[in-house]
A and B are shown apart, each in its own frame.
Chain A
Amino acid sequence: MSARDRIESGLRRLVAASWAERLGLSFAALVASVLVGGLIVFFSGTAATCQEPAYGVFGLTSCYNPISVYSVLVTGAFGSILSDPFNFNVALTLKETTLLIFTGLSVAVAFRAGLFNIGSQGQLIFGGLASAITVLTAGPLLTGVGGFLLVPLGILAGALGGAFYGAVPGALKAYAGANEVITTIMLNFVAEQVAFFVVSAYFAAPDSQSVETSQIPPAAVLESALFGSGSDFSIVAFVGGLVLVAGLYYLIKYTAFGFDLRTSGLQPEAARFGGVDAKRTIVSSMALSGAFAGIGGAVWVLMVLGRFQTGVPALGFDGITVSILAGNNPLGVVPAALLFGVLKSGSLAVQLSTGVPIQLVGVLRGLIILFVAMPEFFRLLGKRFVTTDREPAVATDGGEQTPTEPPSTGGDAGDSGGER
């Protein structure tokens, strides 16, 4: 049995043993976040000002009732889905879901390679900008039948822009040892400012108050079929996202590149002995990660706004939560993105009818990551209520989760899980 086979079978065992636990962990983390989020909503409501308190318990009155907040959130995200499955609320939820699939995949592919790409936000900005500039430039040249080329061209430009912007911190990491967490965060700030400069100096819409490009040509817009026009949701983009999910799953699981990527994430030392070119893998994984985020940016331009605008929503940061919730598994990204899409679109209804600000999503985004990061918490909690005499479970973070050390410290990943 070659070293490569041995690594491969070891990996398979780890992944198989842990996926059910990963699912349980994500679910438990979600419940815990919802509970803590409810407490935060209640207590913040005691400081808010309102006509009459909505909820009181133990003599404390709050302007917000956490239970009704969550029920409004769910109904707000789906609308009257039974009588009208193509209603506006569903479109809004799916629109957010689609965008989050791309950023979730972006973060997931980097995590699987043992890299913390916090820069999906910047890569999304760069991809979106590249996409908008490309279709704006190519629009007048490609008229008539050629117009069909605009959408693929815009997506391609987005992917390339994002890939470039992801490859930069990858190269800095591979060849200069610069920690990618810090460089990608710094590059997020740089991307924001550069996009502001490029748009305001060269592509500003003539008579606009905000810093944005002109409308992209109509042929480049991803049309909202099925759902009413103005819903800004294109089923084509959603299906495209699903295809990418399947593609990435195949790539990671069945190709040589995927093997290199997984082993560098789980066992960097073993990967090196197995003949993986670590530096090239880092750069190409980061470029691939950036490409996904860049496509997300392109879809945001072509489907949602129809132009590029500065002040891009924090889709890249949401992608971190989506990926972590999905156990960094491409297939898990779809339900995780849907869940987060529900949160995002439902929070609009929450703000309208209960007054709890939409920033609540940001709070939940962080809480979910916190809880997924501590499987030990749920294990201890479980022990308190259930006495089992079977062996403690194998590593919950083996296989699917990220390495337990930043790669810069040179230690090998995945060895601090609770394997006995």
Chain B
Amino acid sequence: MSVGRLRSALDGGDLRRGLAYGLAALVVLAALYGLVFPETMAGDLLRLATSESTLGAALRLAVPIACAAVGGIFAEKAGVINIGLEGLLIISAFTGVFVTDAVGSVFSIPGIWVGFVAGVLASTLLSLLFAVVCIKFRADQIIAGLAVWLIALGLAPFAATVVYGSVNTSSVGTLGTWTIPVLSELPFVGPVLFDASPTVYLMFLVVGGGWYVLNRTSFGRHVRASGENPKALDTAGVDVTRVRYLAITLSGVLSGIGGVGLSLGQVGQFIGNGQTMVNGKGFIAIVAYLFGNYNPLGAFGASVLFAGLDALQLRLQQIPAYAVPSSLVQTIPYVTVIVVLALVGHTRVPSAAGDHYESGED
């Protein structure tokens, strides 16, 4: 109950800031310790965490989380909680690989980019279905979101088994990396930032563009009003339903980029056993934007944090000296998500989020 008291002492914003500073301070302390005593585990961790390959991996792993998170921000800001992001990631990850493999190049566009577009399209269509179910048929948003997740979780392995005889698809190769000439020569940041998968650049575009659209355009204003005070928006002559449809569809497009970014950007195939290769990244994305207080830039920071932990645990498994059981190390990102959620649990949710809005005139 001390948590409750702590929270009543601080309001949400202060707590979030405090948590972020606290985490940063912890990291700095550990880093200092590692610098002073390079022979200790802290030293090893520091070397690992700051190595180019770990940072590069963190950015790659952040792609699905950050893209889905920005998409989720648009939906929730517009007043529809899209808890089905995980399903959108799954369906796009699978479709991207399947179409790359089955269709191949069209009009001399390389097959893998055809697959990329198809994956984004699949996620967009599924999000449109979600929008219709929530808006036209007034379904409970949480249950409809769970349905989107479970449908994708069933459909992708089903289709993979039909086509490939196993829940995993065959391998189609990845999008590779784009090396930006001069900038990639820069020491340290060069290889991390400018010699990366095209999906990483796309993620920067999604995050920056998402922030701009949400905060600097009239569409962004409408989205925010649709979540905070749909009645006022309606009175101002803007069609709330249309804004919500657009926002949910946008969450489908962005999650689609994230999903294909995972399958075609990193792995080159779809893996469908258990929770599929998406493995909860859609739900982590929700926590990322809650932690980032519905700000695309904040959500990006949180995504890199969660993805960084994932990258670190992957590297940690490769060090035999510590013999940390890999199954326990793998829980680190999930446990962190729970802890973060418990500490910033009371976020400032858009006041009309979750509500169905009915315009007076029908």
Which residue numbers of A lie inside 8 Å of B, CB to CB?
A: 40, 44-45, 47-48, 116, 118, 172, 175-179, 181-183, 185-187, 189-190, 192-194, 196-197, 200-201, 311, 317, 320-321, 324, 356-357, 359-367, 369-370, 372-374, 376-377, 380, 397, 401-402, 404-406, 408-409, 411, 416
Bound-complex Cα distance A177 to B341 (A)? 8
- Residue B4 at the A interface, CB < 8 A? yes
Chain A contact residues: helix, strand, loop or mixed: helix
Max count, chain B CB within 10 A of own CB: residue among A44, A362, A402? A362
28 contacts between A and B (CB under 8 A): A40-B158, A172-B338, A175-B4, A177-B342, A178-B341, A179-B341, A183-B342, A187-B338, A189-B279, A193-B330, A197-B325, A197-B328, A200-B325, A317-B150, A317-B153, A361-B154, A363-B158, A365-B150, A366-B147, A366-B151, A366-B152, A370-B133, A370-B148, A373-B133, A373-B144, A374-B139, A380-B137, A409-B354
A367 close to B151 (CB less than 8 A): yes
Encoded as 1 (CB less than 8 Å from any A CB) or 0, chain B from 155 to 192 comes to 10111011100010000000000000000000000000
B162 close to A376 (CB less than 8 A): no
Chain A residues with CB below 8 A from B327, complex form: 193-194, 196-197, 200
Chain B residues with CB below 8 A from A192, complex form: 274
Comparing B217-225, B244-252, B345-353, the segment that makes contact with chain A is B345-353
- Residue B280 at the A interface, CB < 8 A? yes
- Residue B204 at the A interface, CB < 8 A? no
Chain B contact residues: helix, strand, loop or mixed: helix
Q: Least Cβ distance of A22 to chain B in Å? A: 14
Max count, chain B CB within 10 A of own CB: residue among A179, A194, A402, A411? A179
A406 close to B354 (CB less than 8 A): yes
Q: Least Cβ distance of A226 to chain B in Å? A: 33
Chain A residues with CB below 8 A from B345, complex form: 172, 176-179, 408
Q: Least Cβ distance of B155 to chain A in Å? A: 5
Chain A residues with CB below 8 A from B319, complex form: none
- Residue B240 at the A interface, CB < 8 A? no
Query: When the two chains form the complex, which single residue of A116, A183, A360 contacts B142, counting CB atoms closer than 8 Å?
Result: A116
- Residue B81 at the A interface, CB < 8 A? yes
Chain B residues with CB below 8 A from A194, complex form: 327-328, 331
Which residue numbers of B lie inside 8 Å of A, CB to CB?
A: 1, 3-4, 7, 81, 83, 102, 133, 136-140, 142-144, 146-155, 157-159, 161-163, 167, 274-275, 279-280, 283-284, 286-287, 325, 327-328, 330-331, 334-335, 337-338, 341-343, 345-346, 349, 353-356
Bound-complex Cα distance A417 to B274 (A)? 36
Since A178-B338, A324-B143, A405-B354 are in contact, a sample of 15 more A-B pairs with Cβ atoms closer than 8 Å, ordered by chain A residue number, is: A172-B341, A176-B345, A179-B341, A181-B142, A186-B284, A186-B335, A193-B328, A193-B331, A197-B327, A357-B161, A363-B155, A370-B133, A370-B139, A370-B144, A416-B138
Chain B residues with CB below 8 A from A181, complex form: 83, 142, 146
Chain B residues with CB below 8 A from A193, complex form: 327-328, 330-331
Task: Look across to chain A and name the residue whose beta carbon is closest to the beta carbon of B163.
Answer: A47
Query: When the two chains form the complex, which single residue of B4, B283, B346 contacts A182, counting CB atoms closer than 8 Å?
Result: B283
B283 close to A362 (CB less than 8 A): no
Q: Least Cβ distance of B120 to chain A in Å? A: 20
Task: Look across to chain B and name the residue whose beta carbon is closest to the beta carbon of A362.
Answer: B154
Chain B residues with CB below 8 A from A311, complex form: 274
Bound-complex Cα distance A278 to B325 (A)? 39
Bound-complex Cα distance A47 to B101 (A)? 12
A364 close to B154 (CB less than 8 A): yes
Bound-complex Cα distance A99 to B329 (A)? 31
Query: When the two chains form the complex, which single residue of B150, B287, B343 contacts A176, counting CB atoms closer than 8 Å?
Result: B343
Do A406 and B356 contact each other (CB < 8 Å), given the known contacts A193-B330, A370-B151? no
A374 close to B144 (CB less than 8 A): yes
Query: When the two chains form the complex, which single residue of B143, B150, B325 contacts A201, counting CB atoms closer than 8 Å?
Result: B325
Q: Least Cβ distance of B75 to chain A in Å? A: 14
Query: When the two chains form the complex, which single residue of A359, A369, A409 contacts B146, counting CB atoms closer than 8 Å?
Result: A369
Chain B residues with CB below 8 A from A404, complex form: 140, 354, 356
Do A362 and B158 contact each other (CB < 8 Å), given the known contacts A177-B345, A189-B280, A373-B140? yes
Task: Look across to chain B and name the residue whose beta carbon is closest to the beta carbon of A195.
Answer: B327
Bound-complex Cα distance A359 to B155 (A)? 8
B155 close to A366 (CB less than 8 A): yes
Do A408 and B137 contact each other (CB < 8 Å), given the known contacts A190-B334, A194-B331, A416-B356? no
A374 close to B142 (CB less than 8 A): no
Bound-complex Cα distance A47 to B133 (A)? 28
Chain B residues with CB below 8 A from A372, complex form: 143
A176 close to B4 (CB less than 8 A): yes
Bound-complex Cα distance A356 to B158 (A)? 9
Task: Look across to chain B and name the residue whose beta carbon is closest to the beta carbon of A377.
Answer: B137
Bound-complex Cα distance A397 to B356 (A)? 14
Task: Look across to chain A and name the residue whose beta carbon is closest to the beta carbon of B145.
Answer: A181
Bound-complex Cα distance A189 to B142 (A)? 20
Q: Least Cβ distance of A353 to chain B in Å? A: 16
Bound-complex Cα distance A370 to B342 (A)? 29
Do A175 and B3 contact each other (CB < 8 Å), given the known contacts A193-B330, A362-B150, A416-B356? yes
Chain B residues with CB below 8 A from A197, complex form: 325, 327-328
Chain B residues with CB below 8 A from A116, complex form: 142, 146
Bound-complex Cα distance A116 to B150 (A)? 15
B287 close to A190 (CB less than 8 A): no
Chain A residues with CB below 8 A from B286, complex form: 182
Q: Least Cβ distance of A350 to chain B in Å? A: 12
Do A320 and B150 contact each other (CB < 8 Å), given the known contacts A374-B138, A411-B354? yes
Chain B residues with CB below 8 A from A356, complex form: 162
A370 close to B154 (CB less than 8 A): no
Bound-complex Cα distance A367 to B286 (A)? 23
Do A359 and B161 contact each other (CB < 8 Å), given the known contacts A189-B331, A369-B146, A370-B147? yes
B150 close to A369 (CB less than 8 A): yes
Task: Look across to chain A and name the residue whose beta carbon is closest to the beta carbon of B346.
Answer: A177
Do A47 and B3 contact each other (CB < 8 Å), given the known contacts A193-B328, A361-B154, A369-B143? no
Bound-complex Cα distance A363 to B272 (A)? 14
Chain A residues with CB below 8 A from B1, complex form: 175
Task: Look across to chain A and name the residue whose beta carbon is closest to the beta carbon of B142.
Answer: A406
Task: Look across to chain B and name the residue whose beta carbon is closest to the beta carbon of A173.
Answer: B345
